A and B are shown apart, each in its own frame.
Chain A
């Protein structure tokens, strides 16, 4: 076996590397390459909403990484909470969470029922995805028929995001346990809601990013810096609270 000792032999080395990385990013930002890119896209007629989404995406990713690595809220990957946050910013988190709750009650028992039959998981998951999409379609139609104000153009993303979430929920329910699946779902919805309110749907942040898009360059070194965080996550302090009490 190789005799490798864990951890940095010299802790100042990575610290210096990060200082150099942030300095290089600041130098690059001084040339404003992203402002140039944004202006080019605007003159070529890019839609404002699409451009705004591209500007908010890196900030949303950083926020999710903080929730996962520092706070310790486990989610269904990075993509699911991110796309849900965009969806929630469009249709309001309250509606999103309510719709997911209804889907959970309707689709989850079908998933568990299907698990009793000898089916390969890809096909089982696909059938639930189809079911979720159709239910969402009917549900939104019903909502509008009853006087709701959801525009069809706003529905695409939430339908995809919530259907995908059901897929992850049922897989986790079968692979791990119903409690674990519920916990991951709640955390994913919580993170998505907070990112939707604090980042994706935050008009002040959008204004700043429109004015200074090169700030987004710092998201890259920031993600790497978060990748070196070796301390306890906030949730772990709670998880191991019994150890803190032990003599």
Chain B
């Protein structure tokens, strides 16, 4: 493969994000998860259920903390890169529990909400500092059939209504249940047409198997792939953003559900697929990213 097929940060900014993702739309959708969720629900797309929103001090004072379920995800509406997300894993001995079993007391939860309202986790220059509680999604088994160590998710890159590249991010023991490649999760490239896994990458290096279970990660098929791809494309279209990374989870109960829409999707997906995004976009007959003759 030629390096000219690879999309770099400069070109992503100049030729995809600047012309295709209007700043106002980024602030409206990618930097405001509550608004994005409302838009997705309005269009009948599957999202985790919303339990409650705390947008300002008045909401905070009135919030009925005792009504929170045992399991939930607390998120900053303007957050990004997974910052500020707090997920509970049951309630024991007077406190919710984290993925690793550490206690999350009501006081700690309240302070976390205050930090979100204060803007500690807000990204994209947005001024939406609301906190919201939503349904915790569950995937009991990962793609290989082993017990999932966290919540594997899917990232689909959509450019102007066309899905161009996809990957699954599978948490490992090293990533401590998080599906973040920088924290040690494994990225698995997915063939955009068939949903078959192509290659896996861990910390920048290619591999074929899961580091914890040694199960093969290549040649598997993502269940219900055409539907997942269609959901991602539909979500990207209604977002008003021309270049997005749509994150989804295959929940055991509700099936594929959209976690969020990213206006600046990362570039590691290219390594997971062993393919450049520039080349992939050119192959989907998008006109302007094809390398220009000198």
Contact = CB atoms under 8 A, between A and B. Distances in A.
Interface of A: 1-7, 11, 69, 72, 118-122, 175-177, 179-180, 228-233, 236-237, 239-240, 242-244, 246-247
Contacts of A11: 292
Contacts of A244: 1-3
B15 A7 contact: yes
Contacts of B161: 1
Given A6-B20, A176-B182, 18 more contacts: A1-B241, A1-B242, A6-B15, A6-B16, A6-B243, A6-B288, A11-B292, A120-B115, A175-B121, A177-B183, A228-B14, A230-B8, A230-B10, A230-B11, A233-B8, A243-B1, A243-B274, A246-B1
B160 A247 contact: no
B145 interface: no
Contact of B204 (A6, A230, A242): A242
Contacts, number: 111
A6 B289 contact: yes
A242 B187 CA distance: 14
13 contacts: A6-B15, A6-B20, A7-B19, A118-B108, A121-B120, A176-B182, A239-B204, A240-B267, A240-B271, A242-B205, A242-B271, A242-B274, A246-B275
B112 to A, nearest CB: 8
B270 A120 contact: no
A231 B15 contact: no
Contact of B240 (A1, A121, A176, A228): A1
Interface in B1-41: 1-3, 5-6, 8-11, 14-16, 18-20, 22
Interface in B224-266: 237, 240-243
Interface residues of B, number: 51
B220 interface: no
A8 B201 CA distance: 34
Contacts of B114: 118, 120
A122 B122 CA distance: 13
* Interface hub of A11, A118, A179, A233 (most chain B Cβ within 10 A): A118
Q: Which 9 A-B pairs have the closest CB atoms?
A: A118-B111, A7-B288, A6-B15, A232-B8, A230-B11, A121-B120, A246-B274, A6-B19, A7-B15
